[in-house]
Amino acid sequence: MTAGIAIAYLVAAVCFILGLKMLSSAQTARRGNLYAAFGMLLAVVGTLVDQRILGFAYIISGLVIGGFAGVVLATKVQMTAMPQMVGLLNGFGGAASALVAYAEYIRLSGDPSPTVFLAGNVDAVVMVTIVLSVLIGTVTFVGSVVAAAKLQGIMRSAPVLYPMQKQINALLLFAALALGGWLVYDASVWYVPLVVIGLAAVLGVTSVIPIGGADMPVIISLMNSYSGLAGATTGFVLNNNVLIISGTLVGTSGLILTDIMCRAMNRSLANVLFAGVGADYSPDEARAEQRTVIRYTPEDVAYMLEHAQSVIIVPGYGLAVAQAQHVLQELATILIARGASVRYAIHPVAGRMPGHMNVLLAEANVPYDLLLEMDQINDDFQNTDVALIIGANDVVNPSARYKKSSPLFGMPILNADRARTVIVCKRSLNPGFAGEDNELFYLKNTMMVFGDAKATLMNLVGIMKK
């Protein structure tokens, strides 16, 4: 490595760190992303002028094809489909890392033809990193593709469970690691790495299929972390510090987000990965006791909202499914024009990936200073006239606070029930993902309006404009 390229890589790493640092504020975030992109450009150009590059034809065609696909994906994707998009991108990153590590194995083991390797003269330490990189990269690729297929609805999103699942997965991992260990000892048998890759691919499938649709935010975050780790291990393979630094940054980022998601659901990572929550929606027996809710009309709700001084909107993913963000913002604008204070309370698991709801509302032109996280707004509900809940369910279920038998028990919730009046806009009384009936719907101060979120909100806007 020449001094020139070493410096280019160092500057790139600094750009990445600065870029991530600038993501700490919405004002500087966009510029931060540009810094990071500039760092990437620098690293790529630096590599291309490096003397180790001999042929450019393949490189240029690869860059053109990849660049074109990237532009198409990034400009066409819907904001609701962002989790799948990020999942797929994670997967591509992982695949690239695995491929590079495997190519390096082929180079080091001394023969370009895969069928007649001469001897396993690969340094043991390098081989350890190659095995890890191939393993993590492949699991990331296959696991991400499965997760994206579940989110996109190509595969059933319900958990797929079978007997001895954990044991089989453990066995697969053990077998892959054992074969990897053998490779470190003797790298000369050409098909062993391919078996490792095959096992890792199977593990990628079997480790993601038991996880239900509602837990996908955790898996996407975890795959984010894996893709970083895969990059970092490839950095070890190639002795390239900029790969190690960037991969590690992404790895920690993914882990931190995974932890935040797990805390927001009051579940351990092990519980998310292995418990298969949501496999059976066995209806709660307690619900046999017929409780009644009072149905209100949009006119009643409009009257209530017209007289509210303060409103907190609690959006859930149902809002995005109904594509009702824009009309919700229209309603909020009318309320603000009438002099009411309107804010949004965003639960960490309100969308399908960390921070997803904020993006969906930003797309509907909701100013970001009105979007408040749980800890910032939870104490304000008790002094609020109306909590307007649209498409959210489990995240406002008060039984999470006290009902020990509830699957939601202990999960941090938004204190919507403490508002003077609670308005719930919902399709039906069906329980949320956790399958737990919502106490909130039966409270004295709760007004239920049934129907499609978009239709109901349009109705409300129509009434209030008069």
Binding segment for other proteins among 9-17, 288-296, 301-309, 434-442 (CB under 8 A)? 9-17
Among the options 280, 284, 394, 452, which is catalytic? 394
Q: Cα-Cα-Cα-Cα dihedral of 89, 92, 98, 101, to 10°?
A: -90
Among 54, 116, 288, 337, binds other proteins (CB under 8 A): 54
Among 148, 208, 216, 250, binds other proteins (CB under 8 A): 250
Among 10, 158, 260, 443, binds other proteins (CB under 8 A): 260
Query: Which 145-184 positions form the footprint of other proteins (CB under 8 A)?
Result: none
State which residue, 143 or 276, has the beta carbon closest to other proteins.
143
Residue 71 within binding range of other proteins, rule CB under 8 A: yes
Question: Residue 394 catalytic?
Answer: yes
Contact code string over 86-125 relative to other proteins, x by CB under 8 A: x--xx-xx-xxx-xx-xxx-xx---xxxx----------x
Query: Which 361-400 positions form the footprint of other proteins (CB under 8 A)?
Result: 362-363, 365, 367-371, 373
Single out the residue of 225, 284, 293 nearest to residue 254, CA to CA. 225
Q: Least separation, in Å, of the C-beta of 374 and other proteins?
A: 9
Per-residue tokens: 269: 């990572």
Residue 58 within binding range of other proteins, rule CB under 8 A: yes
Query: Which 295-354 positions form the footprint of other proteins (CB under 8 A)?
Result: 346, 348, 351, 353-354
Single out the residue of 425, 419, 413, 414 nearest to residue 443, CA to CA. 419
- What residues contact 160, with CB distance under 8 A and at least 6 apart? 209, 210
Binding segment for other proteins among 54-62, 326-334, 377-385, 443-451 (CB under 8 A)? 54-62
Query: Which 215-244 positions form the footprint of other proteins (CB under 8 A)?
Result: 220-221, 224, 227-228, 230-232, 234-244
Residue 7 within binding range of other proteins, rule CB under 8 A: no
Residue 208 CA to chain centroid, in angstroms? 14
Tally of CA atoms within 13 A in the half-sphere of 350 that contains its CB: 29
- The secondary structure of residue 446, as a DSSP letter, is E
Per-residue tokens: 299: 């006119």
Three-state SS for 223-265 is: HHHHHHHHHHHHHHHHCCHHHHHHHHHHHHHHHHHHHHHHHHC
Single out the residue of 422, 440, 421 nearest to residue 431, CA to CA. 440
Q: Looking at the annotation, which residues are catalytic?
A: 394
